[in-house]
Amino acid sequence: MWRSLLAARLPVTLALLIGSSAAYFAVSDEPRLPTVHAAGSSSSQVAFHKPGCDIKGNINEWGEHIYHLPGQAYYLAARINPARGERWFCSQWEAWWAGWRKAKV
């Protein structure tokens, strides 16, 4: 009787052990989330800017989502505020796919 009970519970116990350890490793392998800084601080731009991702996604006063390329007229003036939903992009395709349009000037 004990053997049949053990045989019935062993696969369930192993599945629970394997499942719980896999979940533990998955959590420990995830990268750290970026630090969120106060809105408008100069360090908030650095926190979300990956090297090579130099396209600025900016939201204007009318709520339009516009991206600026390096060298465009307002690129240096555009500020990224993650609290408002603004962000950096790595390619024009990525910006377009996310629903942003290219700056006209």
Q: What is the pLDDT of residues 58-92, one digit of tens each?
A: 999 999 999 999 999 999 999 999 999 999 999 99
Residues spanned by the domain of 10: 1-30
pLDDT at residue 101, as a whole number: 97
Residues 53 and 8 in one domain: no
- With residue 59 as reference, give the H or E element that holds it: strand 55-59
**Are 80 and 51 within 8 A, CB to CB?**
no
pLDDT at residue 1, as a whole number: 57
Residue 7 in domain: yes
User: Count of domains in the chain?
Assistant: 2
Residue 35 in domain: no
**pLDDT tens for each residue of 1-51:** 545 544 555 454 444 444 444 333 334 444 554 444 444 444 444 446 889
